[in-house]
Structure 1
């Protein structure tokens, strides 16, 4: 059975000021309405990283012909019946990219990157860039949801990972803008309601994506659909 979202504590003061929040929400709305993301095949060639993913550039002109909708051009047909919720994680490291996360997951016994999407913070991966993992391209389940609902979530949740450690500091505005844009698109495509968009800590006894994740602003920016 899908988990119910737990009520979480308010975000610590200072994570986002009111002025910053207004600018952030406005930028997200403008990006969603006007522009998209520049799509490019991933060419990192990182040792050990399973091929088959792709990268979305952090910023794109409003006239760009490609958009976040490119994530739905998967190699395997979209499995709409499978995806029932979205779970947001952090990498628990201040810097990194899809290759370092892939390496960490292999060290834990996974067969490669366990998340569907990774969003960079400018430290090892461009700020706001999105890496689309092979599991999403092949419509496979994730691996990183923890008990007690881990098995169900790994089969039915879309897994998004923010590079950074949300227990030690805040995420960048570019990351949060991209997270809102990506989450909105996925939720609309698969008819996922706001109550089925979870932080990992909502559904497991983990501090992930951390106490500095700006949950209230994030949910306000998502709005309703």
Structure 2
């Protein structure tokens, strides 16, 4: 007994763009929606990434203009080991420091210093306009890297939103096409049955 080889169905690529008797207007519209969705997703993603990177870089520059470094003195010996629950991800410890601003006013605040820093040690801290110690601003390559990472994260997110909107439009079009097919079958189906019965 010979086996009949399985029938393989060749997938026709780009069939919505080719002229054929089974292609409908909705198929062409769907093809354009898919193409436009990908193009817009790519364009919007790149544009959003560039804007986010530039905005982030501008924010770093603006923050740097609002703070300034000062030389402070550690007022008492700092701990030799960082606290286990510090949560800052570095090896520095908290200590009280004192500094004098430009008008001669003396200020004290807590800052991160190297473990074991002795009283009288000088450290550089960053302060804001209210004379409070703030984290050092990102500058140079660190700021450039952070801005680039921000753009790299925003770009695919923005592109995905645009692609998702295109997918929703396409899904609605498919549902509409299925409804049209169902309505046509309800109209033609009984006639098809009568033709089949007449031939029998």
Q: TM-score, normalised by structure 2?
A: 0.21
More helix by percentage: 2
Q: TM-score, normalised by structure 1?
A: 0.20
Please tell me whether Structure 1 or Structure 2 has the larger radius of gyration of its CA atoms. 2
